[in-house]
Amino acid sequence: MSERRLTVGLAQMRPRLGNLAANAELHLDTIREAVAQGTDLLVFPELSLTGYTLRDQVPDCALVPDDRLIARLIKAAVRTTLIFGFVEQGPDYRFYNSAVVAEKGELRVVHRKTVLPTYGMFDEGRFFATGDSLGAIDLRWGRLGLLICEEAWHPVNPYLLWLDGALVQVQMANGTARGRHAHVTPGGSEGIWRRMNATYAALYGQYLLFCNRVGFEEGVNFWGGSEIISPDGLPTAQAGAFEETLLVGEIELAEVRRARSRLPLRKAERLDLVSATLDRLRYEPEP
């Protein structure tokens, strides 16, 4: 395991809905700022290149992974690991809520969101296809797990990334301000996000990087509150609510080793039992 200390940046931004050119410039400005501050890893929110409530604009905003605009962003971030969100046009002409992971000026991975919220105010299943793979990513400084918003609300996904050896978990979000008041409401979305982030970090002995956006779209407010959580489950840096900012902080991968030495859950994990139970549940009717 690498023992590196990393400088990470979380770009809590306000994208313009459907305006790829303007959003690309926001990305480039932030990349320049982050590189100047020596970041080793820079994370943008979910669908940072397009905005969230696209609906019928999805086809007009879709890009293939080797598009020149994506290549331009990757080239600008040659000195840092870069993660940002976009609408991907797949080879089958379906569209995906996806994220780019790039390193040393090269595209490494495109992750397609595997769980699409289609309930209440959310309507992603009408406009996006569902990704079908999940796994940790080997980068120059260690192994990273990546989730896009709703994926984190399904506990099996952070669990699988932990099993797959992730030292750092990134959660890109378009978290809305549902149920948010002057003080964080336990049942509101912000309160649940905070508790989830702390729990996943402490239980799995990993750093958790939560990057959320801000701004209004179609009457929907996004609250921000991006944060860096230590393997002890404690925030080491937090952005304020409702304001654009580049949150920069440090993480020490040696703390992951120490946390997992104190709480060595992984070595006792019963994968045979997990597999057998999943096989049983797959063929049984829901209770």
Tokens 């979910």 belong to which residue?
46
Model pLDDT, residue 2: 44
Q: How far apart are CA 173 and CA 210, in angstroms?
A: 7
- Pairing type for strands 207-212 and 168-173 reads parallel
| pLDDT tens-place values along the chain, 287 residues long | 346 899 999 999 999 999 999 999 999 999 999 999 999 999 999 999 999 999 999 999 999 999 999 999 999 999 999 999 999 999 888 999 999 999 999 999 999 999 999 998 899 999 999 999 999 999 999 999 999 999 999 999 999 999 999 999 999 999 998 655 545 555 578 889 999 999 999 999 999 999 999 999 988 999 999 999 999 999 999 999 999 999 999 999 999 999 999 999 999 999 999 999 999 999 887 77
Tokens 């290549």 belong to which residue?
71
Strand boundaries in the chain, DSSP class E: 5-12, 41-43, 81-89, 95-103, 106-112, 137-139, 142-148, 168-173, 207-212, 214-217, 220-223, 227-229, 235-238, 245-252
Which H, E and C letters describe 179-193, residue by residue? CCCCCCCCCCHHHHH
Domains along the chain with CATH numbers = 5-283 (3.60.110.10)
Cα dihedral across residues 154, 157, 160, 165: positive or negative = negative
DSSP lists the bridge partners of residue 40 as none
Model pLDDT, residue 3: 64
- Strands in 137-139's sheet, in edge-to-edge order, are 137-139, 142-148, 168-173, 207-212, 227-229, 235-238
What count of other Cβ atoms lies within 10 Å of the Cβ of residue 160?
A: 17
DSSP helix/strand/coil, 208 = strand
60's tokens: 């007009």
DSSP helix/strand/coil, 83 = strand
Q: Which residues of 92-129 are buried (b: 16+ CB within 10 A; e: fewer)?
A: eeebbbbbbbbbeeeebbbbbbbbbeeeeebebeebbb
- Pairing type for strands 41-43 and 81-89 reads parallel
92's tokens: 């089958």
Q: How far apart are CA 81 and CA 139, in angstroms?
A: 8
- Strands in 5-12's sheet, in edge-to-edge order, are 106-112, 95-103, 81-89, 41-43, 5-12, 245-252
Kindly report the CA angle at 212 between 240 and 142, in degrees rounded to 5? 110
